[in-house]
Amino acid sequence: MNDLISIPLWVLILVAVLATIAAIDRILGPSLRWFFRRRMERAVTRLNKRLERPIEPFKLLERHDTVNRVIYSPEVMAAVQEYAADEKIPEQVAFVKAKAYAREIVPFFSTAAYFGFAIRVAKLLSRSLYRVRLGSYDTEAISTIDPKATVIFVMNHRSNMDYVLVTYLVAERSALAYAVGEWARVWPLRAFVQSLGGYFIRRRSNNPLYRRVLARYVQLSAKNGATQAIFPEGGLSLDGKVGQAKLGLLSYVVAGFEPEIDPDVVFVPVGINYDRVLEDKVLVGALERGDRRFKMALRRVIFSILRNILRRITGRFQRYGYAAVSFGKPISLRNFLQDHPGTDPTRPLGATLTKAIRDIVPVLPVPLMAAVLLDAEGPMALDQITKKAKHLRQRLEDQGAHLHLPRDDPDYEITVGLRQLVRLKIINETPDGYVATEPSSLILQYYANSILQLLPQEK
């Protein structure tokens, strides 16, 4: 009983380490978690005093609590039974799949990551790459939104910079939770996106169990006032226009909304436009091929980032022109349902939101010059460009479009737009004037489409 035994040193060290970890987890762990939780709550209280829309308690729930609220809901449990019957598998196996889907979807929001890091990075990137401008903003209408209402920003999807730009511009108003595609489910981006409150969507999945789990999370978020941002188009625009709305997420919100007992859901249209879309050639290439498989080599992305860093260090980096964001008049879901009784409102709601977004897309110098040069049969002299630009600008103003005029100078606007198009090698400057380069005609159309969609369609 009292005999001595000998064990290898590494075993003794391993046992000591495991014992220490266990002691910390069982004895110090609860106290540490309570300490950091209290610090987080105090930080959130201070943040909420300066935010127009405070951070919702739903976002601050422990992640496993939210997962349990999703999977143990009657809707998901019924879906588990249906899925098990359809697939002829035990219900427990179907339940495990549902829980895996919930853990994949549900984020873990971190106020430190969002307000301490993400907003600073968003501001740095946005202002480093573009001259950022706030377009139209209906202050009176937006300020009258019920504080208890759930606000959902609905945006056109021009670039992956959309996430960064809008996060920066609404930083003083609220914390946004984005619906993010599968492209971001890679390490370490996945954990970072989830810490910012973003949730992933398998856009091409037709699995009914997955769809029911996703729907329940979206509905819980809406019922609990979580401010969200979604792209009704579903993916990046390939032709520069605001595409038709995909009805998945909208249908979940509408189906879960109970006007008599739930707080209102208010959609705020957001229109985004750029003088330079970082992915322009990739998107136009996908349009030419007729698919959405974006062929962007990682080495090219890394090379581009390193090249721009070197240019900034040497003072040779030039920003990509202007980026502008406009916020439109809010649309109340409760009022919309009252105006569309007795029918499924999802499709007309999608059409209404799409039109509201399209109508407020800002007009910037590069899209304006692209539209001017689009149908030119040969080189256009500067005086011809000026005359046509003036006419097009007037037509856009008559439609109520928001035109960003740099320095309030129409001539400077033309200079900026032409200079950027030449720099991007979309047009060439010749002795006879400016002309589109043959391989870049689709890119010229891509930029022009972002504002030509604001004009009435010719019959």
Mean pLDDT, the chain, whole residue set: 83
User: What pLDDT is recorded for position 229?
Assistant: 87
CA angle 69, 70, 73 (to 5 degrees): 80
pLDDT exceeds cutoff 70 at 107: yes
Give the model's confidence band at 408: pLDDT under 50 very low, under 70 low, under 90 confident, else very high: confident
Q: Using N-to-C axis directions, what is the helix angle for 63-71 and 74-87, rounded to 10°?
A: 60
User: What band does 459 get if pLDDT is binned at 50, 70 and 90?
Assistant: very low
- Using the predicted structure, report yes or no on whether residue 284 has a pLDDT greater than 80: yes
Q: What is the pLDDT of residue 85?
A: 93
Q: How many residues does the chain have?
A: 459
Residue 457 reports pLDDT greater than 80: no
Predicted pLDDT at 123 = 86
Q: Which amino acid is at 72?
A: Y
Q: What's the Cα-to-Cα distance from 395 to each of 192, 363, 392, 402, rounded to whole Å? A: 44, 12, 5, 12
Determine the 3-state secondary structure of 354 from DSSP. Answer: helix
Tell me phi and psi for residue 91, to 5 degrees: -60, -35
Amino acid at 191: A
Tokens 């960003």 locate to 404
For residues 305 and 455, the model is more confident at 455
Strands (E), 278-404: 322-327, 331-332
- Least trusted range by pLDDT, from 38-52, 77-91, 390-404, 429-443: 38-52
Residue 270's SS3 state is strand
Q: What pLDDT sits at residue 167? A: 84
Task: For residues 111-120, give the mean pLDDT.
Answer: 74
**Domain topology for 103-278+320-358:** Glycerol-3-phosphate (1)-acyltransferase (3.40.1130)
Q: What angle do CA 384, 388, 392 make, to 5 degrees?
A: 170
pLDDT at 2: 65
Average pLDDT over residues 34-39: 54
- pTM equals 0.84
More confident residue, 298 or 443: 443
Asked which of 107-116, 139-148, 149-158, 391-400 is least confident by mean pLDDT, the reply is 107-116
CA distance 53 to 2: 68
Confirm if 271 and 326 have CB atoms less than 8 A apart: yes
Phi first, then psi, for residue 428 (nearest 5°) are -115, 145
Region 310-318 average pLDDT: 73
Q: Structural domain boundaries of the chain?
A: 15-50, 103-278+320-358, 365-452
Question: How many Å apart are CA 195 and CA 112, to the nearest integer?
Answer: 9
pLDDT at position 358: 95
Residue 41 pLDDT exceeds 70: no
- Structure-model confidence comparison of residues 66 and 204, the more confident one: 66
Q: Which CATH class is domain 365-452?
A: mainly alpha
pLDDT band at 314 (very low <50, low <70, confident <90, very high): confident
Q: Under the phi-then-psi rule, with left for phi > 0, alpha for psi from -120 to 50, and beta for the rest, what region is 174?
A: beta
For tokens 């136009």, name the residue. 284
- Lowest mean pLDDT across 77-91, 385-399, 445-459: 445-459
For helices 91-105 and 74-87, what crossing angle results, to 10°? 130
Residue 169 in this model has a pLDDT that exceeds 80? yes
- Confidence class of residue 436 from pLDDT cuts 50, 70 and 90? confident
User: Which pLDDT belongs to residue 28?
Assistant: 61
